[in-house]
């Protein structure tokens, strides 16, 4: 599943939890987070702490991959258009 927003992540976590037959309380306990925090994550809260997100994904048995994203068909490649060689962040 491609996740491009906090909402996408929340929906993925909720679906994985439900697929496993877990309640929010079950998963919160397994991940060492509060049920309220988990509820916020599943609702797409954009400011959720990354370390807690990783613990929650681990408790669900979900890995996290990072990879370069190719532009969708018909979407301009801004790096190519602007003559850039990738991200200059850092």
- What parts of the chain have a pLDDT lower than 50? 87-90
Write the DSSP string, 34-83.
Answer: -HHHHHHHHTT-TT--HHHHHHHHHHHT------PPPPPTT---HHHHHT
pLDDT of residue 69: 76
Domain boundaries, the chain: 6-60
pLDDT value at position 24? Answer: 98
What pTM was estimated for this model as a whole? 0.74
The arrangement of secondary structure in 6-60, i.e. its CATH architecture, is Orthogonal Bundle (1.10)
Q: What's residue 1's pLDDT?
A: 77
Answer whether 49's CB lies under 8 Å from 6's CB: no
Instruction: Let me know: does 38 contact 24? Beta carbons within 8 Å.
Output: yes
């Amino acid at each position: 599943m491609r996740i491009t927003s906090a909402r996408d992540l929340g929906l993925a976590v909720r679906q994985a939890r439900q697929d496993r037959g877990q309640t929010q309380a079950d998963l919160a306990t397994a991940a060492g987070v509060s049920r309220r925090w988990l509820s916020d994550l599943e609702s797409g809260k954009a400011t959720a702490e990354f370390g807690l997100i990783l613990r929650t994904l681990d408790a669900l048995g979900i890995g996290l991959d990072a990879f370069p994203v190719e532009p969708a068909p018909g979407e301009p490649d801004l790096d190519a258009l602007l003559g850039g060689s990738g991200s200059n962040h850092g």
